[in-house]
C-alpha cells in the first residue's frame, strides 16, 4: 500500500490507498521530523567533506582558533613543556591528538 499525504485545515492527513482511514498529523511534528533528517544529512556531508582536509599538525594560532584558547595560552604550554609539540625549523606545531588529550586530562568530573 502507498501512503498519500493530503492537506487538511492546517494539518496533514495520511491516507493509505484502498483504505478509507485518514490519520491526521500535526504539521509542526512533520516539519520537525524533516528538519531533524536534514540536519543529520548535512552533518554527515560536512564530516565527509572535512575529513580529508583535517590537518593533524596545527600552528599555535590555529590551535587557538579551533579550541577557543588564546595563542599566548598555547605558547605558554609549549614554553613550560606541559604539552607535546613538534619543532620544524623555527616553527612549532601541535598535534591535534595531543591537544585533545591535554584538554581531556584537565577535565574535572563531579560525583553526584
Q: Is 48 exposed, middle or buried (0-12, 13-18, 19+ CB in 10 A)?
A: exposed
- Residue 83 DSSP code: S
The pLDDT of residue 102 is 94
The pLDDT of residue 52 is 61
Q: What is the pTM of this model?
A: 0.51
Query: Cα separation of 27 and 12, whole Å?
Result: 6
pLDDT in tens, the chain (112 residues): 445 555 555 445 555 555 555 555 667 777 888 899 999 999 888 877 766 667 889 999 999 998 899 999 999 999 999 999 999 899 999 999 999 999 999 888 888 6
The pLDDT of residue 29 is 77
Amino acid at each position: 500500500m502507498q501512503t498519500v499525504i493530503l492537506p487538511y485545515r492546517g494539518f496533514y492527513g495520511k491516507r493509505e490507498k484502498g483504505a478509507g482511514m485518514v490519520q491526521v498529523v500535526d504539521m509542526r511534528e512533520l516539519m520537525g521530523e524533516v528538519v531533524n533528517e536534514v540536519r543529520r544529512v548535512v552533518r554527515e556531508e560536512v564530516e565527509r567533506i572535512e575529513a580529508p582536509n583535517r590537518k593533524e599538525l596545527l600552528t599555535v594560532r590555529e590551535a587557538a582558533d579551533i579550541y577557543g584558547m588564546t595563542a599566548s595560552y598555547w605558547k605558554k604550554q609549549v614554553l613550560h613543556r606541559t604539552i607535546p609539540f613538534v619543532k620544524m625549523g623555527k616553527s612549532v606545531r601541535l598535534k591535534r591528538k595531543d591537544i585533545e588529550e591535554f584538554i581531556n586530562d584537565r577535565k574535572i568530573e563531579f560525583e553526584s
